Structure 1
Amino acid sequence: MKAWQVHENGEPREVMRPAEVADPVPGPGQVLVRVRAANVNFPDALLCRGQYQVRPPLPFTPGVELCGEITALGEGADGEIGARVLAQPVLPSGAFAGLALADAGSVRPAPGALDDAECAALHIGYQTGWFGLHRRAHLRSGETLLVHAAAGGVGSAAVQLGKAVGARVIGVVGGAEKAAVAAALGCDVVIDRTTQDVIAAVKEATGGRGADVVYDPVGGAAYQQSAKTVAFEGRIVVVGFASGDIPAPALNHALVKNYSIVGLHWGLYNARDPRAVADCHAELTRLAASGAVRPLVSERVPLEGAADAVQRVADGTTTGRVVVVPN
């Protein structure tokens, strides 16, 4: 089958190489999935660079999220041949290929309200957003939610989930094109950090009070802005560090302003509370059916364009989700 492989660590465009490889064979408890669509995530770039918390043996095929069709079952694996599902592939057999392996217990039914590309973009980003906003920050209707990188894949999911719960959403973006995307997503206020003072703009939009919840997948300067714009008894949700800069919070500042800093490592729920992951998927399926959430798929690229797509997502030049569609 056709697949992208990484034989050495480096920038995605430089180290991802097309190859013909043998079809993977499902082991005990695994399913073989024909890839119908594979979402591009920032962790794909970190995998290529050797900077992700999981380091698969070289060579490996990147791609951590897909929508596909079950074609074979390993020994003891539950599943239905031909079922359309969401899955996180078991590396080194990632999603940027014709076929991928997944643990049967982690496979979820694909929501019928979404097409293949939208389904491929639903699982990780929206689960992360749901757990971050609801389990960690306890966002309530009527509160103000500030989302950094609101036009990106992770940010756009948080915007939709915030609106679904009845929050007032402020989106921070970089550039006029991304500002238009954030507005179309439903942000009540859009702040372009390239032309506006983010701190001043948030204070103006909130009457000086600040945001009740800040959703930060960026880190670096964005986190510093978060600390200066979070409200009394607000919550800053640390989701990731797309900027590459991991901040060192001033805990005395959190003390004197009475706000919370909470971390969100969604993958840990798979190990510690898988029932909660399944319940979240049921809720996301319901929200998709109602039209409250729909992944923003800005590009659908062929398998041949996967390396370039991963690089552009890593460089922060894309909006919404870029999805690789093999066929």
Structure 2
Amino acid sequence: MKAYHIYTSGEAPQLVNLPKGDPAEGEIRLRITACGLNFADLLMIKGKYQDTPQAPFTLGMEVAGIVDAHGPGVSEPAIGTRVALFAGQGGLAEYGCFPVERAIPLPDNMSEVDAAGFQIAYGTSHLALDYKARLQPNETLLVLGAAGGVGLTAVEIGKVMGAKVIACARGPEKLEIAKAYGADHVIDATKEDIRDVVKSLGGADVVYDPVGGEQFTAAFRATNPDGRLLAIGFASGDVPPIPANHMLVKNLTVIGMYWGGYLKFNAKALTDSMAQLFAWYSEGKIKPHVSETFPLDQVADGLDMLKSRKSTGKVVITI
């Protein structure tokens, strides 16, 4: 099979031929048809992601495809069932063997491309806004990086949950996409002062931040007393300092949120969240925005879209 593989940590991945392999006990083999790209893939290539596997390994964190074989002790889902699963690694390949407990059968109305770009982005935003920040109807939600892979889902989920959503992104094209997904107000991060605009709109009760850096600092200063700030990631490359004295005075809460970490200590939270998200998808309340698809031999082009921040929503590799 073809696979986008890293032989040595820190070196560029290569498209190579590898043995297909057979599923072990408790595993299924998937004929992979789509794999979502994530900012974490870029960090894994550099060996800087918190869950970077030991090299050698194949990239690709979230996949969709068709059950091709069962390992010992496995009989479901049936051969031929379309499923999605969080792989962590191994998704950018024609086949992969994964724990059956992670497999989620797809609704009939969900394409495999949508499914491959669904789990991490929507799962992160829903778990963050619902389980962690307890976002309430009529609260004001500020989303930074609002046209990116996770940011756009936060805009969409925030509206489903009844919040007033302020979306911050770079440039008019990205802001139009945020509006199309439900943003009530938009801020152009290239031209406007985030703090001033948010305060003029009454301040933020919850901040969703996958960007970090100066944008976090501006959002922190525009957060209302008793507000909650979700630290999702640092796409800017800058981890911001957090002034604990200001947190004290304004009764603010800064919440760290790493979706994949819940697999290790509270998988039920992910399962419950995903059940709600798949229900919303089936009801037409949410719809993934896949801005670009690339074939397996053009993974590098897809990753470049993420690195240069030219993409909106998700980038998916079709296999």
TM range (shorter): over 0.9
Query: What does 1:1-327 correspond to in 2, within 5 Å?
Result: 1-10=1-10, 15-79=12-76, 80-89=78-87, 91=89, 94-206=90-202, 210-326=203-319
Q: Does structure 1 retain, via aligned residues, the 8 Å contact 2:169–2:175?
A: yes
- Which letter maps to 1:152? G
What is the CA-CA distance between 1:186 and the residue it aligns to? 1.4
Structure 1 contact 78–104 (Cα < 8 Å) conserved: no
Contact 2:194 2:219 in 1 (8 A): no
Q: Which secondary structure does the structure 2 equivalent of 1:319 belong to?
A: coil
1:239 counterpart letter in structure 2? I
The amino acid across from 1:73 in the alignment is H
The residue type paired with residue 168 of structure 2 is V
In angstroms, what is the RMSD of aligned CA positions? 1.4
Tell me by how many angstroms 1:111 deviates.
2.8
| Cα deviation 1:86-134 (Å, max 9, x = unaligned) | 112253xx11110112111111122333211111111111111111001
Q: Aligned AA for 1:123?
A: Q
SS in 2 for 1:15: coil
Gaps of 5+ in 2: none
Q: What does the per-residue CA deviation read over 1:135-173, in whole Å, with 9 as the maximum and x for residues that have no partner?
A: 110001111100000000100111111000111100000
Cα separation, 2, equivalents of 1:26 and 1:214: 42
Equivalents in 1 of 2:88, 2:211: separation in Å? Answer: 27
Q: Could you tell me how far 1:225 is from its partner in structure 2?
A: 1.4
Q: Distance in 1 between matches of 2:52 and 2:311?
A: 25
Deviations 1:51-110 (A, max 9, x none): 01123232221000011111111112352211111112253xx11110112111111122
Flag as ranges the 4+ runs of structure 1 deviating above 6 A: none
Contact 2:206/2:223, CA 8 A, preserved across alignment: yes
Per the normalisation by structure 1, the TM-score is 0.94
Q: Read off the aligned partner of 2:79 and give its amino acid letter.
A: I
Identity %: 38
Distance 1:220 1:78 in 2: 48
Segments of structure 1 that go 5 or more residues without pairing to the other structure are none
1: CA distance between counterparts of 2:131 and 2:54?
34
Q: Equivalent residue of 1:194, what SS?
A: coil
Tell me the matched-pair count: 318
Judge which range, 16-25 or 160-169, deviates more: 16-25
Give the letter aligned to residue 201 of structure 1. V
Q: 1:186-222: CA deviations, max 9, x gaps?
A: 111110010111111111222xxx1110001111112
Check conservation: 1:171, 1:189, Cα contact below 8 A: yes
Q: Secondary structure at the match of 1:145?
A: strand
**SS of residue in 1 equivalent to 2:4:** strand
Query: Aligned partners of 1:261 and 1:276: how far apart in 2?
Result: 20
User: d(CA) in 2 for partners of 1:259 and 1:44?
Assistant: 32
Aligned partner letter, 2:121: G
> Quick check: 108-117 or 183-192, which moved more?
108-117
SS of residue matched to 1:117: helix
In 2, Cα distance between the equivalents of 1:6 and 1:268?
Answer: 23
User: Against the structure 1 CA distance between its residues 22 and 246, is the aligned structure 2 distance closer, same or farther, given a 3 Å change threshold?
Assistant: same
Q: Are the structure 2 counterparts of residues 9 and 260 from structure 1 closer, same or farther at C-alpha, using a change threshold of 3 Å?
A: same
